[in-house]
Every structure is written in C-alpha cells, then in structure tokens.
Amino acid sequence: MAKPDVGFVAFFLMWARVMGWKVPLLHIRICHWLETCDDPVRVLQVFRGASKSTTYAVYKAWKLYRNRSNRALIWAADDPLATKLTRDTLNVMRRHPLCAGMLPRKPGAQSFWVNGATDARNPSMQAVGVNSNVTGARADDIDYDDIEVPKNIKTPEARANLRMKTEESTFIAVPGAQETYIGTPHTHDSIYPELIAAGAASLKIPLFENAVRYEDTTQATRYRFDFAIGDDGLYVMTGVYKHARLLVEGRDYRVDGRFVVFDAPPGVVLDIYANCAWPERFTRDDIEKRRKKTRTLNYWDSQYQLEAKPINECRLDPAKMKPYATHPTVERANGEMRMMLGGARIIGARCYWDCSLGKVGGDDSALSLILDDSAGNYYWHVAQAMIGEYAVFSDDENSQIVTGQVLQACDVIERFQIPQVYVETNGVGTFVSKLLRKALKQRRLQCAVLEINAKGNKNERILAGLEPPLRSGVMWAHVDVLDGPTWDQMKDWNPAVAQQPDDYIDSAAGAILQAPVRIGKIVGNPGSDLREDWRPGTGVYDVTVDMA
C-alpha cells in the first residue's frame, strides 16, 4: 500500500489534534515556510516562547515520515540542549498516527535510526553540542537549534569560535543538503543577520509586527506611531525590568489619530507596539510579566523583537538621573521614627563597598549608598572613595584602629544611620569585612555586615543594576555624586571593554541589586545614645490561636 502524500501543515494539524492544541496562525506560517522553502541555507527567527523548537521537532518527524533515508545532524550550544530536539522528535514519532512502526524498540535519545534507514554509519538523527567532535559525519540536513546562547557569545573571541565550529558543516553536508538555523539573536554580532546578508532564506516573526520607541520623553506629551492598529489594539509600555508597565488606554493615555497622548511627559523610555503575533497566548498580563522579568532593553529587543543592537548603544547616560541637593533627616511622626528625604519617605537603604587598596594610580575603593522610597525611586546618595590602608592599628596593647578605610566607612554609616552594609570580598577585600566589624564594635555602632562574592561578568552586572532604573525614570542622584567622578565613569563606560574605570558605578549597581534592608536594628550606642529605627514596620500584635 502506497504511503499517503501528506504535507507538513496537515501532518502538524494531525499532531495538534493528538495533543489537544489550538493552532494559531503563527504556527501555520512557520509550517508552510518550512515545507515550501527549499533554499540550501535557511534562518528561522521567532520570538521567545513561541514554541518554535516544538514545531521544528514535528517537522523533523515529518521529514523522516516522508523519507526514512534522511540523515539529520542537530547542533546546539551543548549536548543536553541538542538532545531536547531529538527527544521531542521521538515523542512525536511514537504517538503520531502516520508514524506507526517507524521506530525501533529502544531508540537512543542522542542518536537513533528509524526502521528502514539505509546508512548504518550515520544515524537518522544525531544530537551534538557545538564543541563536540563530528569529524567524519555525513548529513542531508544540518539543523542549528539555538546554537547561539548568552554563554558562547560574550566576547568577540567566543563569537569567532562559534563561527569556526559551524564552518565544520562544509565537510559534513552531502551535495544538496539543507542547513537551517533556528533561534533568536543574543548579540549585535549575531550569526543570523550575517547569514541573511549572505543570501540565506529567512522567516522572522517578532512578538509585535509594528513598533516605535521614544527614549527622550521628558518634554513632549504626544508621540506618533505610523502603523495601523490591529484588532488587539495598541500596546504602550514604559520602563523595563521591575519598573516596567503596560499602560491602559483611557487611564494612562489616550489615542488621537496616529498619536499616543499623555497628560504629562512620561519621562521614561516609551515603546508603542501593535499587531501581536500570538495574542491568544501572549495576553497583556503575560506580556507585562515578561517585560518585568527582562533586565535590559537590549535583551527584550533581541528575544522578543529579534533586534540585537550594538552593545555600545546600551551605554549608561548620567543625564537620565534626576539631581537633588537635600540630605535625609530622621524624625518622629505619628508615634514612630521615620527617615525623610525632602518630601519622600525613605523605607530602605543599601550600602555597598567595592573594596580596593585605594592607592594613587589604582582602582578606587568605592562605597555607594542607595536609598529607596515607597514609590519605587532609587536615590544614589553617596559615592565616596575610601582612601589609604584598610586599617591602621595603634602600637599600644589595646591595639585600637586609629585610622584607615574602615573608619571612613564608619563615618558614613553613622552619619546616614545605615543599618546594613554589603562588602565585596573578591580579591583584596577578603579581610575587610572582619576589620569593619571590629571598627563598628570600637565605634559602638550597630550595623550588619554582609559579605558579597560577586560572580559572573561584571559589565553584565553593572547593566543589570543601573540600566533598568535609568531607563525607567526612577533613578535620582545627589549633586555630590554627580559632581564627583561618577558622571565621567558613566559617560565613558563601554560594556564591551573588560578593563576600564567603573568602581563607583559597580558599587552602585551592587547596592541596587541587593534585596531591601528590613532588619529591625538601630545604629548607635544602645547603652547611652539610643536611636529608634527609622524604617516602617508592621507593628506588634497579640494573637490568640484556638488549637482545639
């Protein structure tokens, strides 16, 4: 009996019925393109969370259904990631109505042969990581599934290594073979636009078909968009990460023709989108949740709009910080102590010390203080260099600390009533926390000292800490901070450079990334000069519980 000639769209819809899926038009577009595009090199880019790899696994099962002699090599960033696609394909072939009898009794997850395969040396599907040795392999299809991920594109050298590894496909692909790249760009120097520029066929489906961004929104109240609005309406978003908001028409803005109109200038980065590719799945609540979990605009653009910008465009602009000149005061009101910064009530403080030897010509030993108010604003109140030795002890038998960086830190802690300080212990800062605790005890100050071992890429950490509040319009800075070296460090900072002046912005980013301080302790001498805690609490209550 002849095998029925079933196209991929029909094959996919049959599988969707087995799985109980409601198929969106998005997936029909992908299926049609995969079936009809026979170019030797193809690039499939679809926004994060659109089930592109799941759809592609069904496509690989269909390819073997149509031709059991087909040989495919699956390349991904590492072996486990590559094996996900083969496992998913095996699941389809076990349960799809048209794939009965195609699999052997115990197919391997990393490589397998279907019943009827004609090449005993090269599997029907083989999954390998990009750094695996595939010398001597042959394939009719080479499928690069998420070969580009953050860990293998951090540096120009890493991106060059990725390109060198993928060039191996020249020796693996048989005449007439097809290469397909599936993924999202993670860097401005992505392999995907490079392939497209070289002539590869492309299907690119961002989350929103239409988009316009305004970064300077401090003056105007009207913002133009030059595209039609679909049935799902406009999506107007401000900010990024935890300050992100998906605005509501009629409450936050109104639409006047091709303009979004506000009562007052938004003052934060503004994105206007329309025509969501999958509105049934990506609801407005889900989109806002995803935006709030995205640390930087560049990551949002790359993963959801498939546009990775040059990393230099993510530079930290100090002009986005709002200056202020007042200092915090601690006062009693309504039966409790509180800290006020002008008219804003401060509810949290984060002090972060990025330690170094503090010598001329070396890195600054930078201490930053970030204050938080109840509205979600950040106030960068102190960016101060700790100078000299960490601690200098007296020569007498009491061995008291008489000068040094730790006493300078104590001065800041006492002046601003800081209840907790984070000390970065990388490198030379290993013993600073112990010296600081001794100095605090000597000064009779109560302040928690937490040791922080900063891990990962420092430039990524700086971006993650400072870019979201800067872009979201909630970053303030005291004039003393702006008048110091901070301004130049931010202006000249380049995320692509490993070694550069960044001590103050690194300490501020570290302070922002730490959890809010809520420990109910005081600063000062509890025996003689008792000070009440200025941070708001929930109070003390008597509770009766009936356990019967």
Higher pLDDT, 359 or 166: 166
Q: Could you tell me the residue range of the domain that residue 225 belongs to?
A: 208-314
Range 246-252 contact pairs with CB under 8 angstroms and sequence separation of 24 or more:
246/284, 246/287, 246/288, 246/291
Is-above-0.85 flag for pTM? no
Q: List C-alpha distances in Å: 27 to 21, 59, 283.
A: 11, 12, 17
How many structural domains is the chain composed of?
3
Question: CA 169, CA 247: separation in Å to the nearest integer?
Answer: 47
Paired residues of 128 in beta bridges: 75
Dig out the tokens for 408 from the structure.
Answer: 């300078």
Is the pLDDT at 518 greater than 50? The verdict is no
Question: CA 96, CA 271: separation in Å to the nearest integer?
Answer: 42
Evaluate whether residue 36 is within a structural domain. yes
In this predicted model, what pLDDT tens digit does every residue of 34-74 receive, in sequence order?
Answer: 999 999 999 999 999 999 999 999 999 999 999 999 999 99
In this predicted model, what pLDDT tens digit does every residue of 122-152 receive, in sequence order?
Answer: 999 999 887 777 777 899 999 998 888 766 6
Domain match, 294 and 342 both: no
358: three-class secondary structure by DSSP: coil
Q: List C-alpha distances in Å: 29 to 26, 192, 241, 293.
A: 5, 19, 31, 28
527: three-class secondary structure by DSSP: coil
Question: CA 152, CA 131: separation in Å to the nearest integer?
Answer: 11
Domain match, 149 and 214 both: no
pLDDT score of 312: 53
pLDDT score of 540: 43
Is the pLDDT at 260 greater than 90? The verdict is yes
In this predicted model, what pLDDT tens digit does every residue of 193-228 receive, in sequence order?
Answer: 888 999 999 999 999 999 999 988 988 999 999 999
Mean pLDDT score, 7-28:
96
In this predicted model, what pLDDT tens digit does every residue of 235-244 receive, in sequence order?
Answer: 999 999 888 9
Residue type, 71: R
Instruction: Kindly state the percentage of the chain with pLDDT values over 70.
Output: 89
Evaluate whether residue 539 is within a structural domain. no
What is the enclosing helix (H) or strand (E) of 161? Answer: helix 156-166
Domain match, 38 and 160 both: yes
Domain match, 328 and 467 both: yes
The residue whose two tokens read 């120097």 is 189
- Choosing from 269, 288, 314, the residue where a domain stops is 314
Question: CA 355, CA 390: separation in Å to the nearest integer?
Answer: 9
pLDDT score of 106: 87
Q: CATH no. for residue 488?
A: 3.30.420.140
Domain match, 230 and 195 both: no
Higher pLDDT, 490 or 335: 490
Which pLDDT band, with edges at 50, 70 and 90, does 520 fall under? Answer: very low
Residue 276 burial by Cβ neighbours in a 10 Å radius (0-12, 13-18, 19+): buried
Q: List C-alpha distances in Å: 539 to 365, 535, 544.
A: 39, 12, 16
Domain match, 47 and 169 both: yes
Evaluate whether residue 463 is within a structural domain. yes
Domain match, 279 and 332 both: no
Q: CATH no. for residue 99?
A: 3.40.50.300
Closest CA to 243 of 372, 341, 353: 372
Which pLDDT band, with edges at 50, 70 and 90, does 537 fall under? Answer: low
Instruction: Kindly state the percentage of the chain with pLDDT values over 90.
Output: 57
Query: CB of 381 within 8 A of CB of 328?
Result: yes
The sign one gets for the Cα dihedral 465, 470, 473, 479 is positive
Query: CB of 61 within 8 A of CB of 99?
Result: yes
Q: List C-alpha distances in Å: 289 to 336, 374, 475.
A: 36, 21, 22
Total residues belonging to the chain = 548
Angle between helices 503-513 and 458-472 (to 10 degrees): 70
- Choosing from 273, 289, 314, the residue where a domain stops is 314
Mean pLDDT score, 400-422:
92
pLDDT score of 310: 59
Question: CA 16, CA 66: separation in Å to the nearest integer?
Answer: 19
Which pLDDT band, with edges at 50, 70 and 90, does 542 fall under? Answer: very low
pLDDT score of 531: 56
Question: CA 114, CA 94: separation in Å to the nearest integer?
Answer: 11
Domain match, 153 and 227 both: no
pLDDT score of 4: 65
In this predicted model, what pLDDT tens digit does every residue of 431-490 receive, in sequence order?
Answer: 898 999 999 999 999 999 999 888 888 888 999 899 889 988 899 999 999 999 998 889
pLDDT score of 545: 37
Domain match, 255 and 201 both: no
Q: List C-alpha distances in Å: 323 to 63, 281, 300, 319, 320.
A: 62, 42, 28, 9, 9
Residue type, 374: S
The sign one gets for the Cα dihedral 254, 260, 266, 272 is positive
Evaluate whether residue 293 is within a structural domain. yes
Domain match, 454 and 367 both: yes
Evaluate whether residue 531 is within a structural domain. no
Q: Among the residues of 395-534, which ranges form H helices?
A: 405-415, 432-442, 458-472, 479-483, 486-492, 503-513
pLDDT score of 153: 66
Is the pLDDT at 541 greater than 60? The verdict is no
Is the pLDDT at 114 greater than 50? The verdict is yes
Higher pLDDT, 23 or 129: 23
- Choosing from 205, 229, 248, the residue where a domain stops is 205
Which pLDDT band, with edges at 50, 70 and 90, does 3 fall under? Answer: low
Domain match, 504 and 381 both: yes
Evaluate whether residue 548 is within a structural domain. no
Closest CA to 472 of 225, 267, 194, 204: 267
Evaluate whether residue 123 is within a structural domain. yes
Query: CB of 193 within 8 A of CB of 186?
Result: no
Query: CB of 77 within 8 A of CB of 148?
Result: yes
What is the enclosing helix (H) or strand (E) of 448? Answer: strand 448-452
Evaluate whether residue 170 is within a structural domain. yes
Domain match, 121 and 266 both: no
Output the average pLDDT for the chain.
86
Question: CA 533, CA 523: separation in Å to the nearest integer?
Answer: 8
Which pLDDT band, with edges at 50, 70 and 90, does 532 fall under? Answer: low
In this predicted model, what pLDDT tens digit does every residue of 339-365 receive, in sequence order?
Answer: 999 999 999 888 999 987 655 555 789
